[in-house]
């Protein structure tokens, strides 16, 4: 019996999933939490060594269960997050700058409109601190050791996938895949390689960056553990979920509910550029080859529920939010805008901050909890409306995954607000499944059967009511945008 391991390095945890290649089923999961640090307002950091040690631990746990019989590994990861390390020692030279970090927002806002237009034409992205380029530039300008190592040819900078592959292969592979590279603001969508003009613009030397390869390419051999096995599938977490949900044809879409909310809409082999603040990104076609998608994101979705639990103390567990939300008929006119570190698509306002509107003396914690959950669904409506206008393709149903997709209240409200069915699969871990399936496909084996629906949430026929709620939410958002 042989197995495939999917290593999923996320924003709040590192997990490894073990799949049986003979029966095509999930066997085992190991998980370790990862600490996020907030040294200054708007800054978000992690310890790259912690990511690596915990990745090694969860993979070792899967190897223990597999008895060493591993055919290969797929890797999926939080995107845009930047790690810089010393190639001679393997040690990080500064804290990891997480995708949510806003320390470079002033610089990105200062980029002239003509330059921003060029960046979008080449990369499909809008200049924003969200993406990797400004983070890399910040490290080069603010970490003294970066300059010294660069002169010695020993500086390595990359996204989390690159760092993990480098460590897993004991420094033999310095690579990334097209999907992760496409989130850096340095990758040309048309030539599928680093863009020399943008590298010069951001003053980032090509030699400190990894070699981009297709997501289904062999990235190297993991040799740090006993034995060795190939790393044959690498893909950014959202594109991995899209692939895992079998959304590979133009017009198919999915929503992943995690720390943030990410909606991807497949557009096929041709990139579609947005007129509504969405992003054009590289995805993975059904055969593993490069494809394209439109993407929109909310920076904060599940993190809003975490805020209710950890900072506000209104709930003890995330799952409790469903029960409390259903104890009231509505929010009592309360609306929540989760702009803790700005607003993503379609607003792209890094200065916006969170807002609770409509509070009265009769507002109870149940109303606030419900408003937080409803805000997640409204954010998805923002993105879906833009995607259908940009692509001129109808979105007739959406597939969902991620932690909050288990919340029945949220899924029903999501269907009601979108006005289309919401399809929840039996296997909610679509991100890991996508990486495992891609890795297995590259090896000529299979790890899963056809995607199966666990529950289909059908929308209410009362469209005017839910459209009115959404319009009121948009009014609340506009208040956060006022300077």
**What is the pLDDT at residue 121?**
94
- Residue identified by tokens 């044809």 is 249
CB 423 within 8 A of CB 399: yes
Confidence (pLDDT) at 449: 57
Domains of the chain: 3-237 (3.30.420.40)
Per-residue tens of pLDDT for the chain, all 483 residues: 689 999 999 998 999 999 988 776 888 999 999 999 999 988 999 999 999 999 999 999 999 999 878 999 999 999 999 999 999 999 999 999 999 899 999 999 999 999 999 999 999 998 999 899 999 999 999 999 999 999 999 999 999 999 999 999 999 999 999 999 999 999 999 999 999 999 999 999 999 999 999 999 999 999 999 889 999 999 999 999 899 888 888 888 999 898 888 899 898 898 999 888 899 999 999 888 999 999 988 888 888 999 999 999 999 999 999 999 999 999 999 999 999 988 887 887 878 899 999 999 999 999 999 999 999 999 999 999 999 999 888 888 899 988 889 999 999 999 999 999 999 998 878 889 899 999 999 998 877 656 788 999 999 999 999 999 999 999 999 999 865
pLDDT recorded at residue 346:
85
Question: What angle is formed at CA 78 by the lines to CA 72 and CA 80, rounded to 5 degrees?
Answer: 120
5 φ/ψ angles, rounded to the nearest 5 degrees: -105, 135
CA angle 185, 188, 193 (to 5 degrees): 110
Q: What is the DSSP string of 193-241?
A: EE-HHHHHHHT--GGGSPEEE-TTS--EEE-SSSS-EEEEEEEEHHHHH
Q: How far apart are CA 162 and CA 155, in angstroms?
A: 13
Whole-angstrom Cα distance, residue 358 to residue 476?
9
Q: Are residues 255 and 409 in contact, defined by beta-carbon separation less than 8 angstroms?
A: no
pLDDT at 450: 61
Residue 26 pairs with which residues in a beta bridge? 19
DSSP state of 145: H
- The 3-state DSSP class for residue 438 equals helix
CA-based nearest residue to 229, from 25, 21, 415: 21
- Tell me the CB-side half-sphere exposure of residue 349, using CA atoms within 13 A: 17
CA distance 144 to 156: 14
Predicted local confidence at residue 343, as pLDDT: 87
Rounded Cα distance between 213 and 161, Å, is 12
Host H or E run for residue 7: strand 3-9
Q: In angstroms, rounded to a whole number, what is the distance separating the alpha carbons of residues 420 and 274? A: 22
Please, what sign has the CA dihedral across residues 20, 225, 12, 42?
A: negative
Picking from 57, 258, 87, the residue whose alpha carbon sits closest to that of residue 158 is 87
Q: Tokens 């990862």 — which residue?
A: 34
What gap in Å lies between CA 243 and CA 263, rounded to an integer?
13
Could you tell me the two tokens for 21? 């290649």
User: How close are the terminal C-alpha atoms of the chain, in Å?
Assistant: 61
- What are the CA-CA distances from residue 268 to residues 256, 271, 272, 391 (Å)? 20, 7, 9, 11
Dist. CA 481–CA 483, nearest whole Å: 6
């Amino acid at each position: 019996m042989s197995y495939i391991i999917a290593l999923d390095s996320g924003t709040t945890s590192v997990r490894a999933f073990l799949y049986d290649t003979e029966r095509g089923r999930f066997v085992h999961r190991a998980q370790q939490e990862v600490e996020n640090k907030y040294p200054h307002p708007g800054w978000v950091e992690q310890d790259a060594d912690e990511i690596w040690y915990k990745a090694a631990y969860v993979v070792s746990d899967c190897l223990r269960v597999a008895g060493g019989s591993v055919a290969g590994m797929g890797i999926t990861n939080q995107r845009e997050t930047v790690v810089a390390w010393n190639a001679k020692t393997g040690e990080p030279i500064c804290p990891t700058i997480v995708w949510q970090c806003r320390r470079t927002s002033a610089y990105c806002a200062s980029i002239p409109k003509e330059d921003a237009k060029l960046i979008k034409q080449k990369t499909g992205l809008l200049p924003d601190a969200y993406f990797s380029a400004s983070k890399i530039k910040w490290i080069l300008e603010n970490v003294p050791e970066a300059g010294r190592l660069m002169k010695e040819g020993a500086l390595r900078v990359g996204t989390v996938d690159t760092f993990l592959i480098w460590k897993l292969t004991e420094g033999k592979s310095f690579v990334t895949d097209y999907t992760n590279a496409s989130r850096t603001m340095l990758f040309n969508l048309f030539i599928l390689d680093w863009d020399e003009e943008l590298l010069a613009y951001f003053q980032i030397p090509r030699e400190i960056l990894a070699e981009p390869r297709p997501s289904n390419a062999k990235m190297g051999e993991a040799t740090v553990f006993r034995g060795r096995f190939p790393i044959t599938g690498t893909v950014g977490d959202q594109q991995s979920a899209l692939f895992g949900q079998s959304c590979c044809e133009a017009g198919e879409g999915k929503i992943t509910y995690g720390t943030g909310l990410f909606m991807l809409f497949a557009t096929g082999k041709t990139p579609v550029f947005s007129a509504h603040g969405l992003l054009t990104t590289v995805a993975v076609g059904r055969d593993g080859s490069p494809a394209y998608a439109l993407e929109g994101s909310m920076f904060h979705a599940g993190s809003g529920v975490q805020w209710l639990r950890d900072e506000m103390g209104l709930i003890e567990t995330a799952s409790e939010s469903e029960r409390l939300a259903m104890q009231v008929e509505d929010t009592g006119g309360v609306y929540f805008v989760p702009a803790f570190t700005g607003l993503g698509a379609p607003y792209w306002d890094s200065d916006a901050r969170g807002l609770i509107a409509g509070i009265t003396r009769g507002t109870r914690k149940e109303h606030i909890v419900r408003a937080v959950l409803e805000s997640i669904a409204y954010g998805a409506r923002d993105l879906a409306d833009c995607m259908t206008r940009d692509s001129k393709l109808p979105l007739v149903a959406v597939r969902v995954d991620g932690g909050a997709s288990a919340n029945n209240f949220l899924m029903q409200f999501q269907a009601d607000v979108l006005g289309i069915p919401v399809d929840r699969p039996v296997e909610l871990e679509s991100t890991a499944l996508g990486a495992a399936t891609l890795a297995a496909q590259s090896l000529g084996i299979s790890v899963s059967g056809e995607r199966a629906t666990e529950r289909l949430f059908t929308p209410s026929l009362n469209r005017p009511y839910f459209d009115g709620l959404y319009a009121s939410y948009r009014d609340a958002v506009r208040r956060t945008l006022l300077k």
